[in-house]
Amino acid sequence: MQAADLRAVPDAEKTQSPVDLFLIIAGANLVATTLQTGASLAPAFGVKQAAFLVAGGVILGTGLVAALTPLGPRLGVPSVVACRAALGLRGGALVSLILYVTNFAWIAVNNVIAASACARLFGGPSSERFWAFGLGLLATAVVAGGPRAVGHADRVAVPLLLLVGGVLTFACLRLPASVSAAPGNGSMTAVRGLDVVIGYQVSWLLIFGDYPRYTRSPRKAAAAVFLGLALTSLWFLPLGFVAARAAGSTNPGAMLAAAGIGGLGAVLLALATLTTNFVNIYMSALAWKSLVPAARDRASVWTIGVVGAALSLFSGWLERYADFMLLLGGLLVPVGGVLLARFFLVRRPVDVADLYAVDGPASRHGGFAIPGMCGWVAGAAAYFLAGSMGGTLPSLVTALLVTWGLERALSRPA
């Protein structure tokens, strides 16, 4: 396995165990941004409302990701390549570009959050940029070693994260009940809050083929992805909510200080930054290689990691966090609907070689698959038009039905 290998994985190389896949996904989601998503609900909702939104959003969002995961082992190709079957060659390239650009934001956000906590213990506020850049380079070095290096690192990091997460859980349980008892201020509607949680889960949508393609069993891969995302989110989202209530703020450093675990919190955020950026850098490298096939694996990984680390030197990443989740939901939920329609309703056979051929079926109609692209646009429009009424379900259903209907109509003989 290479660092950013875009080729189809033969069956002989599908040696990754479901446990390793689970550890990679769980490690990527045991992260400060998961806490931050829970914290974003704290001002608007009471504890009962938040619990409902967390449970519903996690199950729905993670279920969509897990439903697509079997495509990874079956096709053996990265997600951005699999998307070509539903969106066309250039349509898949558009997905790659979106993934590539948004992952820079994820890398920077994770580095900034971890650096703010680490600087409180070592070096003071003036060292935050040093921490952010250094953690970004360390994660990049591991990813450059390939999926096996990431798997070995996660075998060490994830158990430590579980331990520190347990300490954070204990600290939150010791907080007075009055911390969570107060009602929310209603600054966000319930369906909008649900969209925020689903948007965070669906931000992992395009991982369905990347790491799972190294696992032989489609069913076990889907279970590993679902459990890796769902269990960690159902754990960390409520912790973020409670810690934000205790701090009266959604600032990560203030949240950990209010819980009384500043030192251990810094360790948690530093480890979490590494494990989640393993996946962010890897997915970005695959997206870039799908756009520029001649790019070298390690060069792609190092370029992405260094740029992401450099962007973390700028401030202002957390102010519009909830809006970022909603933007991702509007872009990726309809892609999920398109893929479900193409692979599970239409069920037209996919020739993996055609997905890589510049003159194959995926390059027809200017490189855009008309049903899939129309479904994507219609689903995105439905998401943003629904607004405060909740866009996830309208977007998913619209994208699925438009894609399915056009696939049937255009495949009929004249």
| Residue 252, domain CATH | 1.10.4160.10
Does residue 358 lie within any of the structural domains? Answer: no
Domain coverage including residue 94: 16-320
Does residue 348 lie within any of the structural domains? Answer: no
The predicted pLDDT at position 206 comes to 86
User: Which of 114-118, 307-311, 381-385 comes out lowest in average pLDDT?
Assistant: 114-118
CA distance linking residue 202 with residue 208, whole number of Å: 11
Please tell me which residue, 120 or 24, carries the higher pLDDT value.
24
- CB-CB contact of 389 with 382 (8 Å): no
CA distance linking residue 339 with residue 404, whole number of Å: 10
**Degrees, nearest 5: CA angle 191-196-197:** 100
Query: Strand, coil or helix: what is 69?
Result: coil
Name which of 67, 400, 42 is nearest 204 in CA terms: 67
Q: What are residue 292's phi and psi, to 5 degrees?
A: -130, 80
Q: What is the pLDDT of residues 354-396, one digit of tens each?
A: 888 877 777 776 789 999 999 999 999 999 998 777 888 899 9
Q: Which two tokens stand for residue 318?
A: 């957390």
Q: What is the pLDDT of residues 216-240, one digit of tens each?
A: 999 999 999 999 999 999 999 999 9
pLDDT surpassing 70 at residue 174? yes
User: Which of 155-169, 262-276, 391-405 comes out lowest in average pLDDT?
Assistant: 262-276
User: Which of 62-71, 88-97, 332-341 comes out lowest in average pLDDT?
Assistant: 88-97
Does residue 107 lie within any of the structural domains? Answer: yes
Chain centre distance of CA 399: 20
The 8-class DSSP code of residue 148 comes to: H
Does residue 338 lie within any of the structural domains? Answer: no
Q: Kindly give, in sequence order, each residue whose CB lies less than 8 Å from that of residue 315, ignoring residues fewer than 6 positions away.
A: 112
Tell me the pLDDT band of 109, cut-offs 50, 70 and 90.
confident
Does residue 218 lie within any of the structural domains? Answer: yes
- CB-CB contact of 204 with 65 (8 Å): yes
Does residue 9 lie within any of the structural domains? Answer: no
- CB-CB contact of 6 with 205 (8 Å): no
Q: Which of 219-228, 293-302, 349-358 has the highest mean pLDDT?
A: 219-228
The predicted pLDDT at position 59 comes to 96
The predicted pLDDT at position 77 comes to 93
Q: Which two tokens stand for residue 364?
A: 């027809």
Average pLDDT of the chain, as a whole number: 85
Domain count, the chain: 1
Does residue 366 lie within any of the structural domains? Answer: no
Does residue 36 lie within any of the structural domains? Answer: yes
CA distance linking residue 181 with residue 175, whole number of Å: 11
